[in-house]
Structure 1
Amino acid sequence: MTARAPLGFVVGLAAIVTGGLAVAEALTWFASRDLTADGPDDGAELVVVLGYRSSPRGRTNVVQRWRTGIALRSVSDHGRLVFTGGPTRGVRSEASVMAEDAVRRGFPADRVVLEEESRTTWENVRNTVDLLRTADTIRFASNTFHARRARRYVIRQAPELAGRLRPARDFVWGERPVLTTFLLVYELVRTRLRPS
């Protein structure tokens, strides 16, 4: 009896954890498609990479490299990348640091655009909205919930662009289930504390 109790506890705990991760994955998948429109992905495409503070020495960090990676796997052969974010640490802008990383990974420099003034996600959108109007397809590269927030800001600032919003490849099933769960919890807490 005593030997079975710990085994049952472990199996039950594993089932709860697995179920929780599965729910987090499903909710994140839905969020990755929220506020996007169906339609062809042809024509001019812009993938906006949302800024994140650089290291004090102006080098990329893990979050910036992750966002750049999402952009690179989301952009089409004819699309352009728009890197956003001003200099929040040091003298180099977040946009220039991430753009350098993308070019180093092989993305053509002539298809890179920099927006180097913004300091918030709202400003990332506001400062690129005129450029977004030139695109037929618009994607945001960041973690799923941050990208969804940017789409919400587009709809508030330039509602005529809502039909051009498409999902980026910010979510891949089973890619980072623990991180996905953490970001879901963070978003729920953030939304409760600071509704956007």
Structure 2
Amino acid sequence: MLEALLIEKCADPSLEASVVDAFVNAVGDGDPLAVTVKVGRKRILVEKAATPDEALAIARRYVGQATVRVGVTSYPAHLGIESGMELSPALFDACENLRMGTATFAKVMRIVAAWYGSNASKEALPYVLSDSLNAWVSGEFEGKDVFRAQDPGGRMVLQGVTAEGQSSTDEAPLPVRGEVEADDVTSAGMRVDISRTGVNAAGEPVR
């Protein structure tokens, strides 16, 4: 669990602290120097970095040849660059990685929320969070690359949703799309059948 001060200082302000905490706990292991490398569904074992320079060197070695995720948010290292030599050491600074990761995750949430409909009800919000976490892990939502997709804009804040992904007023946990596997950045679970939750894809009550 991240320190509250780090979240307050570095995380994207459009996300509540509980959502940031859920995000980092689901996709990362809390290690600012973490480097995960995968080719397809196969994870490549790489040496554990002891310094930011070592972590940067490992990431540079594989970017462009494999899927590389780095830092406390398992940030996709390939975003915004043409080659591994363009990777910034800032990726391995906990605050900067959290800033970049949560800003991108907020965009992913806006993409997912747009699928549910602009007037998604409060009951649909935990599903938006669940789907967003799976989209971050897989890199896709509805067959599209969420990292390169256009940001639909708007402000998406999960007010009243706990780190467990349920409304703070709920008595029992809501079903989620699937287990988010932090060490598998190429797979995601099946979509939740939201017809059983009392809301449709637009977040409107089902009668």
Q: TM-score, normalised by structure 1?
A: 0.24
Greater Rg over alpha carbons, structure: 1
Quick check: which one's helix share is greater?
1
TM value normalised by structure 2: 0.23
Of structures 1 and 2, the one scoring higher in RCO (CA 8 A, sep 6+) is: 1
